[in-house]
Amino acid sequence: MVNIEDVALWATVATWLLAIGTLVFLYWQTRQAGQLNSSNAVITLRERFDSPRMRKVRRATSERLLKNEVEDITNLEVLAFFELIGAQTKRRILDEEMVWEAFGGWITAYYRAMRTPVDRIQKLRTRSHDPLLFKKLEWLNDRIEKLDKKQLGADYEPSVDAVEDTGLYLRLEATLEIE
């Protein structure tokens, strides 16, 4: 004979397992949708970064940085673009590794160029009375460096002296074709 208490117990257990399974599936599905949205956003940002208008701005900015024209970096659009990416990455709207893959070299190159030989970012902060100016870019650069270390492992240390790398990026940027 079937005991009603046993049936009720098994029905309760089955209901809980179904509810937990549904929640796990919904969590997984939400994560997948988030990754897909992040991927699409990074692709869109990359297209914007390669747009003719942005290429023109990148070219002008890199030419001024290569000439070490400290006071002549008036168009901050490239830095603002990376600041926006940093803010979205910090809030986990954009996936950190996708941003690293798509923009890592440029972020590091522009950040280093703005910090050395003269700390232009600090000058901009002082001039604008805004100590938070480009803080998300600074955070993003630190994250990019950590991902570089993670990917390169023991080989990271020799590549840290990347002044040549920064110069290479800027020289390439200074010769961008503009449509």
Whether residue 88 is contained in a domain is answered as yes
Identify the band that residue 37 occupies on the pLDDT scale cut at 50, 70 and 90. confident
Least confident of 6-10, 13-17, 51-55: 6-10
Whether residue 20 is contained in a domain is answered as no
N-term to C-term CA, the chain: 84
Is it the case that residue 159 has pLDDT exceeding 60?
Answer: no
Whether residue 22 is contained in a domain is answered as no
Distance of alpha carbon 80 from alpha carbon 83, whole angstroms: 5
Query: Considering the chain, what percentage of its residues have pLDDT values greater than 70?
Result: 89
The secondary element (H helix, E strand) that includes residue 135 is helix 135-152
- Mean pLDDT score of the chain, rounded to an integer? 86
Is it the case that residue 68 has pLDDT exceeding 80?
Answer: no
For residue 70, the enclosing domain spans 39-174
Whose CA is closest to 163, among 115, 103, 96, 124?
A: 115
- State the total domains in the chain: 1
Kindly report, residue by residue over 110-126, the tens digit of the pLDDT: 999 888 878 888 988 89
Location of structure tokens 């089955």: 14
Whether residue 97 is contained in a domain is answered as yes
Give Cβ neighbours of residue 73 (< 8 Å, ≥ 6 apart).
Answer: 61, 64, 65, 114, 120
Is it the case that residue 103 has pLDDT exceeding 90?
Answer: yes
Is it the case that residue 10 has pLDDT exceeding 90?
Answer: no
Whether residue 6 is contained in a domain is answered as no
Kindly report, residue by residue over 134-155, the tens digit of the pLDDT: 999 999 999 998 998 888 777 7
Whether residue 112 is contained in a domain is answered as yes
pTM of the model: 0.79
Distance of alpha carbon 20 from alpha carbon 115, whole angstroms: 51
Distance of alpha carbon 92 from alpha carbon 41, whole angstroms: 12
Whether residue 165 is contained in a domain is answered as yes
Query: Considering the chain, what percentage of its residues have pLDDT values greater than 90?
Result: 40
Whether residue 19 is contained in a domain is answered as no
Torsion of CA 54, 59, 65, 69, to 10 degrees: -100
Residue 70 pLDDT = 59
